[in-house]
Chain A
Amino acid sequence: MTANLTVRIQQADFDIAREISALTKGRTDIGAVVSFSGVCRGTEGGETIAALTLEHYPGMAEAEITRHAETAMSRWPLTGVTIIHRVGRIAPGENIVLVLTASQHRQAAFQSAEFLMDYLKANAPFWKREESAAGTSWVDARGHDDAAVARWTKP
């Protein structure tokens, strides 16, 4: 059977259980599903966050996520990948991003989920704006996100 790939960018929240069912429906060749969800924190560096607003580059964001998902599917024996990234205003405790990877065995599912998140954080065109009592400001990129990507290219 071929691998299922779903990539969505949406304002609405997602239902993790429903997405896992969609990924595994009708298949008996899947032995492992790994689910990563990124959630909006209510504090950042000791400061209380009221909400995040996510902006993205329509067209490129989908293309970049799909490209990385295809790389993961060529690198690991995956039976399916689902990636959903929300945009717009997101309050603390709400979901931001979902990565699901399915495979016959757990190693491929775990490793590819981590690979995908590292690449998405560093390369997918999304930008977070933080609202706090002090006003609003763009979140600075972190050097360790690039370092996280670099470890996947080491021999």
Chain B
Amino acid sequence: MKLKYFAWVRERIGKAEETIEPPADVRTIGELMAWLARRGETYAYAFEKPLVIRAAIDHAHVKTEAPIAGAREIAFFPPMTGG
């Protein structure tokens, strides 16, 4: 699946997007954030406060308990500040 990062999540990780294949026991958005946080220092920094991070699956907002099975594109970003 494709991952996209925005704003300070993107800056902390150091990339805007990547393609990953998480292990089968990573089932939800929350579990995916925990798995990503273990991939290295930049990821640990980006996901140090997972409760702050918002997520979207295929362009729709989702909560941390949302299942990731079948997702084509998952995005992680800070709370929005548009308008």
Complex interface: stretch among B4-12, B21-29, B38-46: B4-12
Q: Is the CB of A127 within 8 A of B83?
A: no
Closest to B59 in A: A60
Q: Is the CB of B59 within 8 A of A123?
A: no
Query: How far apart are B46's CB and chain A's nearest CB, in angstroms?
Result: 13
Give the number of chain A interface residues (Cβ < 8 Å): 28
Docked pose: A55 CA to B61 CA in angstroms: 17
Q: Which of A59, A63, A125, A138 contacts B82 (CB 8 A)?
A: A125
Asked if B75 lies at the interface with its beta carbon under 8 angstroms from chain A, I say yes
Docked pose: A55 CA to B75 CA in angstroms: 14
A-chain residues with CB within 8 Å of residue B78 when the two chains form the complex = 127, 138, 141
Asked if B70 lies at the interface with its beta carbon under 8 angstroms from chain A, I say no
| Chain A positions 115-132 with a Cβ under 8 Å from a chain B Cβ | 117, 120-129
Given known A-B contacts A57-B56, A63-B59, A123-B61, A140 and B81 have beta carbons under 8 A apart: yes
Residues of A within 8 A of B (CB): 38, 54-57, 59-61, 63-64, 85, 96-97, 117, 120-129, 138-141
30 pairs, CB–CB < 8 Å, chain A vs chain B: A38-B83, A55-B7, A60-B59, A60-B60, A60-B75, A63-B60, A85-B82, A85-B83, A97-B83, A120-B83, A121-B81, A121-B82, A121-B83, A123-B61, A123-B80, A124-B80, A124-B82, A125-B6, A125-B77, A125-B80, A126-B80, A126-B81, A126-B83, A127-B6, A127-B77, A127-B82, A128-B82, A129-B7, A138-B8, A138-B81
- What are the nearest 3 A-B pairs in CB distance? A126-B82, A141-B79, A121-B83
